[in-house]
Chain A
Amino acid sequence: MNGPFRAWPAVPISTPEEVYAGASGQAKEYPLYLESILRQEHNFSKPENLSRLRVLDCTVRQMIGHWCSSQLAELGAEVIQVEPPGGDPLRQQTPFGRKEYMVSDKERGEPVGLQFLHEMRNKQSITLNLETERGQEILKELAQHVDVIIENAAPGQWDAWGIGYRQLRERNPRLVYCWVGQRGQWGPLKDRPGELDPTAQAACGFVHGTGHPKEMGGSPMRSAMWVADHVGGTAAAMGIVAALFHRELVSGEGQFVEATGAEGIIRILDYNWGWYGMDGSIRPRYGNWDLAINIYAVNPCKDGYMMVGGGHDRLWYRIWRTVGMDRPELEDDIIADPKLRDVVERLPHPMQVKTYTQLADWLSDNSRAEAERKLLAQQVASGGVTYIDEVAEYPHFKYRGHVAEVDDALYGKILYGTTPFIQHKAPGRLKWMGRPTGYDNDDVYRRLLGFTRDELADLKSKSVV
């Protein structure tokens, strides 16, 4: 299928007149000011934060490196994806093996899986066989021309090939060299097999803590996404930019960066470690409720699942007032309970059970839209659990360009999640969706290494590129 299944958006994107209709001059002055400096349609008239940098992403099969270089590419770096001849195996991945849900580029008709394509944004693709000596020599030459190299080979593999951090820094002392993986390239777990997310999710405590408690019929649960790759990849990008910052301002030298999916999540597993360290507590799963805030939960409603949040008194009473308009007896029961008066007294488990029993009773009479309308009228943070078709059509996301469709020169119309790097002076942006395998061999090898057509043909015949 070459064109979209149906036109997006199904409902037209709101106009500013519609969005701000009825708002007073004062109420819309600030939002309109923000729009004037932040709207993404102005992006291409502005510079980019990282436009002076060139990144060689040599990671294969894992998403963590691709995610990392996507962020750098959105912020303006020139990113060259280095793939083995034949392409990164991730290109072949498609849900349930369904080849009909891959897309093909218009020039070659080469199919690519959508997960890979979504993170190939703004990147060029070259092929290079690093398992050959000639390939390793070429990488050394490329390393002279780039600011950053990212790799995810088995720990020590590149070092053994003579193209690791220790060797490349001799040739290019300004190089920032980053290794990414699931659990790390040193330490007792370095050689344990298991290289793909959710390995990191399981190894850091995330899976154990996600999902419903056993008593509610639940089990530990992974994220649907390769979320450890996203978190670890973001951490890697942060480490890389920090290293570049230090290079430019202070040292003139690059350094060695290491980031893993597991440690990315360990960093953000809030109080898991503090709590365990204090009294040996092992954080239990608490499903769609929160151990530390009440009300702050997703519970079933008439047509799905509904989030309601009110961690402090002002919102607590507004929520019960809203409930009380339909069901005064539920509000009365909560307000009358002396054990629910103080914010912190609401946190023990029995009080959470009582709170959500009453709240879910009210929710069962309301659809997501009804509950949301009633709660938002009281300025209570709330919203339904939304599914992808709803996300794609959500008016706010369409208006701000959180979700957008690119008309890509190679891949045609692709709906995608846009960069959240919205900025006044030098915003992030999407330039193109992706490239077929080795599409940029001619350009990159000529531009950086001066290869002639004969040389490239020779390398190709020897399966080096």
Chain B
Amino acid sequence: MAVTVKPKAFEEFCRDTFDPKKAFGKPEVLKGYRALSCTQYILGPSCASYLAELGAEVIKIELPRRGEPMRHTTPFNEPLLYPLSKWLPERGTGLGFFGANPNEYFISVDFHRPEGQEIVRKLAAKSDVMVENYRPGTFDRWGIGYRQLSKINPRLVYMWLGGFGGWGPGRVRASYDILGQAQGGAFGMTGEAEERGGSPSKHTIWLADYWGGMMGALEVLSALYWRETVSGEGTLIEYSQVHGVTRQLEYALPMYGRFGIVRERWGNWDTQLCVHGIIRCGKSSYPQSDNPQEQEVGYILVSAYADTDWAKLCDAVGDGKLKAKYARHDDRVAADAQREIYSWLEKWAADKTKEDVYRLLTEKNGINTQPVWNAKEVAEHPHWKARGSVQWIDDPHFGDVLHQGPAYKLSHTPPRMKWVLKPVGADNEHILTKLAGLSGSEIKRLEAEGII
């Protein structure tokens, strides 16, 4: 008997298609691809880790014993994941390392020593990608740079990431994420306006690093795509993080070039849309909490830039005067109008929590809002849990760990999180036996001599 199958409702279809629990039943894009990650801090490591999420075998190579500096970086020196390595079981890996190195294999090699360099060459001969962020020219000097490795393996995609790039007047300058933000221009534009007593503000995450690594991974994937479909050749990619930041300044550069206007800070409001700003609500959502983060008053994005939404907002808040005065968007987006409108809204919200504002504006009146959520509110929200955006991982070394999910979803070959990180040198035996042909006693000797 024929059964008519009703097409699944679209949301149900999506839920099933992107179900994070089904990820491990699906194939991986970079199965069989190998990347070496000779990286420190966040920019280089995160670049390699995005490849690891897609299934590449990523081998992270760190200096023996203590590993890379980011392992010794953690908020207020409090949270740590033990052990750091088999050599230093009483120390732990700091959470600064966390999120930038999932799914990887960890070996230790001292690049300064000829025997260490020989190991890198052996691994590179069998790899598809090299990710590296030492000072420009350092690996070249050690005989493991692009010039040398591309001779051993012409198919190698060699990715260098760093602050300013290896040539030009600033080539010797070291960089960090915060410096990339500062010199690239994003820092000076972000933060409360001068007139409101504000100062330039850092994007709190290591944005130029983590997002820069993503840009790097996108280009590595594109270069691999080109290698497989067209050329058969590898390439050298140079990603400068200040360059990345300068790329994302929106209208700032064309505005300066054409009109000589320097884009300034405009705080939590929007220069191009009004109402489309974050306002202060006068009351805390958790006045009973003993956590200062929760005692703080709430903030919420109110978005009503379209004329119809503006009218609804004025009716909901109750002000006929402003409604008529700023009926046109061109009028309400002007600087003076924004000052007047947001102070009016904050006055109205002074006796409310962010949830009150959400109820009054969104639930009752269909106006766009989004409360400013803290880490707990995000981590506990059913939306992000269902989508696997924040997920518990049963990590083989560290037990249950709450972790971010991949940044995007694929129906057939989803990226996925397997483990959060491993101790320094945890995979020395496995990787060096498999790829460098080292015997057990050689590995012991190299470890004893501090070469691995």
Contacts and interface: CB of A to CB of B under 8 A. Distances in A.
Q: Do A and B bind each other?
A: yes
Classify the interface of chain B: helix, strand, loop or mixed: mixed
Contact of A246 (B15, B257, B392, B412): B412
Interface stretch (B57-65, B73-81, B422-430, B432-440): B73-81
B348 interface: no
B375 A272 contact: yes
B131 interface: no
Given A52-B229, A202-B301, A396-B170, A417 B408 contact: no
B205 A270 contact: yes
Nearest to B158: A424
Nearest to A393: B256
Interface string B135-163: 01100100000110000000000000001
Given A96-B335, A227-B203, A420-B240, A347 B169 contact: no
A270 B199 contact: no
B301 to A, nearest CB: 5
Interface in B240-286: 240, 242-244, 246-268, 270-273, 276, 278, 280
Contacts of A364: none
A93 B225 CA distance: 36
Contacts of B164: 396
B256 A415 contact: yes
Contacts of B392: 277
A245 B10 contact: no
A248 interface: yes
B372 A235 contact: no
A132 interface: no
Contacts of B231: 47, 425-426
B446 interface: no
A245 B405 contact: no
Interface in B35-87: 42, 46, 50, 54, 69, 72-79
Interface residues of A, number: 188
Given A245-B221, A379-B174, A388-B262, A275 B256 contact: no
A238 B221 contact: yes
B370 interface: yes
A168 interface: no
B404 A238 contact: no
A205 B167 CA distance: 37
A269 B331 CA distance: 37
Given A274-B403, A309-B178, A422-B238, A262 B190 contact: no
B184 to A, nearest CB: 7
Contacts of A118: 250-251, 253-254
Nearest to A19: B169
Interface stretch (A78-86, A138-146, A183-191, A326-334): A183-191
Interface in B380-402: 381-384, 386-387, 389-390, 392, 400-402
B218 interface: yes
A305 B203 CA distance: 15
Given A194-B301, A277-B379, A385-B187, A95 B79 contact: no
A95 B168 contact: no
Given A166-B13, A199-B303, A241 B250 contact: no
A6 B205 contact: no
Contact of A270 (B206, B222, B405): B206
B335 to A, nearest CB: 5
B23 to A, nearest CB: 13
Contact of A381 (B173, B223, B230, B331): B173
A184 B368 contact: no
Contact of A389 (B218, B229, B233, B256): B256
B214 interface: yes
Nearest to B212: A420
Contacts of A348: 76-77
A421 interface: yes
A52 to B, nearest CB: 7
A208 B223 contact: no
B445 interface: no
Contacts of A244: 225
A221 B299 CA distance: 10
A361 to B, nearest CB: 18
A30 B205 contact: no
Contacts of A105: none
Interface string B167-199: 111111111101100111111111110000101
Contact of A225 (B234, B250, B329, B387): B250
A291 B75 CA distance: 5
Contacts of B202: 210, 287-288, 298
A238 B411 CA distance: 14
Given A206-B204, A250-B27, A388-B188, A277 B401 contact: yes
Given A5-B258, A416-B253, A426-B235, A271 B219 contact: no
B29 A221 contact: no
Interface in A220-266: 220-227, 230-232, 234-239, 241-246, 248-251, 253, 255-259, 262-266
A385 B175 contact: no
Interface string B112-152: 00000000000000000000000011001000001100000
B410 A243 contact: yes
Contacts of B368: 193-195, 199
B334 interface: yes
A268 B407 contact: yes
A231 to B, nearest CB: 5
Interface in B1-42: 7, 10-11, 13-15, 17-18, 27, 29-30, 42
Contact of A117 (B254, B265, B299): B254
B201 A405 contact: no
A291 B278 contact: no
Contact of B225 (A50, A189, A257): A50
A371 to B, nearest CB: 12
Contacts of B13: 159, 166
A280 B379 CA distance: 10
Contacts of B206: 268, 270
A284 interface: yes
A276 B17 CA distance: 29
A239 to B, nearest CB: 4
A420 B258 contact: no
Contacts of B370: 192, 194, 199, 202-203
Contact of B233 (A221, A246, A311, A425): A425
Interface in B355-376: 362, 366-376
A449 to B, nearest CB: 26
B96 interface: yes
Contact of A188 (B386, B406, B413): B386
A37 B266 contact: no
Given A212-B201, A221-B201, A268-B210, A103 B258 contact: yes
10 residue pairs, one from A and one from B, having the closest CB atoms: A415-B257, A277-B402, A396-B170, A268-B210, A271-B95, A114-B251, A235-B407, A5-B260, A267-B407, A256-B411
Given A186-B14, A415-B256, 9 more contacts: A227-B186, A258-B408, A269-B205, A276-B376, A311-B69, A345-B77, A381-B179, A416-B253, A420-B247
8 contacts: A8-B257, A31-B167, A115-B251, A159-B13, A224-B190, A283-B75, A285-B204, A423-B223
